Structure formats: structure tokens, C-alpha cells
Amino acid sequence: MAEQVSHHPPISAWHVSNEGEGIAATVNASFGVQFGGNSVSVVTQGTGVINLQKLDEKYELIKKTPGVVIKNVVWGTRRMYWEGDILIKCPKTGLTMTLKAQEENYINTIKGEVTRMEGEEEVVVAELSGVCGQKLFCQSDEDGQSELLADFTEVVKPQVHYEKWGDLDPLSSQQVWAKVNEYSVLNDMASADSFKKMVEQDQRERSAVRKEKGEEKLARYFQVDEETGFWSFKQT
């Protein structure tokens, strides 16, 4: 389940769960765009949490996703890669994982380590290395052997099933952005931009009406913690 819970600033929240495996994750995300002379960087912010119910462990996503860099936007051969850090902590086990994605000789590498606090000392438990979107290896300090941790090339993407068009909420992303998507695919950027401005104007008008009526905009599927600002999933 995903929902844009705030428009100013723009924040999206999503929740995914696997009841059979006892795994649930909730993440908040906001995005920023930085322009260079011939490149564009999309920077993500926000936190999240992963619950492993069978192990009674909670993993805090301090830095959940690296940014995306698009090179040679104006001239040259365009390419895209991940760049930035990932930081995950588990208070129960005391484990911390840090990863860094970057481009090295046109290869999108990812490297990092798993550490654990032993008293006041931070001890390296394992080292991680690999290529983004391909294979990730783990080398344990106990035996020094490197083993395949994950092979993302073998991941089978599930087929996405959508509700019938007539059953969709009028304010669902599919309906709201339908024309923008249609003209983007046709590479008619002028028309896509025109419909994008219409969508944004409609959002402003609806927001003004709610403000005038004194109606607070509440998210449908998520609720916010006033102290931390984190949007958690409403369990139903």
C-alpha cells in the first residue's frame, strides 16, 4: 500500500508485508532533484522500519536508499547509476550495516560492512561487496570465506494486477496522472507538461477549499506520529 501523505512538503509512505513469512516494512520517502552542468541527481530522504516477527527483531532504516545520478543528460551517451549510502540498525542484536554505492570505472559497485558493538568497541562482523542490480557477496571475519548473499539477476518480477478502471478512486494515481503518462510515452512533452500543470492546479484548488472550510487533510491509510513525524501504516 502506498500513499502520498503530504503535498507540502511532498512525502510518500508505503507499506509491504508477507504474512506467511512474518515480515513487514513501512517506509517514508521524500525526493529532491539537483541539476549539474550535464547531470541530474535524484536524492531521497526519509526513514523506515522492517519487522521480522518470527525473530522478534526490528531493523531501523536510517538511510534507506542511495540517490540516482543520470549522467550526460544534454550531450554524450546517457547512463544512470546509484550513488550514496545505506544505513540499517537493529537495536536488539546491536548489529549495524553500512553500504555505499558509487560508480567505479563505469561499474556501479556497492561496498560496506556489518558491525556490532562489544562493550565500547565496534567490531566488524562481515564485509559486503558486489555490483548494484547483480550480485552481492558477504565475507565473514570468522572464516574469511566469501559467499554469495544475493543474486538479483535471478529475481523474477511479479506480474502487477490493477483494479478495473471503473473501480478506481477518482483521485488514484492511475486516474489523476493518466494523461501525463499517455503523452510522456508518446514523447509529447509539451502536452504532458500541460496536463501536469492542470493536475497541480487542481490540487491547489482542492487544498484551498479544504483550508477555507477548516477541514484537515488526513491520510487514508497512514497516521503520523506528532513527535517523530513518521507516518505508520494503519493496521486494519
CA angle centred on 56, ends 55 and 61, rounded to 5°:
100
Q: Is the dihedral of CA 231, 226, 57, 150 positive or negative?
A: positive
100 part of a folded domain: no
Task: Give pLDDT tens digits for 17-56.
Answer: 999 999 999 999 998 888 888 999 999 899 999 999 999 9
Q: What is the largest CA-CA distance in the chain?
A: 66
Number of domains within the chain: 1
200 part of a folded domain: yes
189 part of a folded domain: yes
Task: Give pLDDT tens digits for 115-149.
Answer: 998 888 899 999 999 999 999 999 986 677 889 99
105 part of a folded domain: no
187 part of a folded domain: yes
Q: Give residue 67's pLDDT.
A: 92
Pull the grid cell for residue 188: 509529447
Residues 146 and 117: their CA atoms lie apart, in Å, by: 23
191 part of a folded domain: yes
Residue 74, classed as helix, strand or coil, is coil
146 part of a folded domain: no
193 part of a folded domain: yes
Enclosing domain of residue 190: 166-213
Q: Which residue has the higher pLDDT, 55 or 236?
A: 55
Cis link prior to 91 (omega < 30° from 0)? no
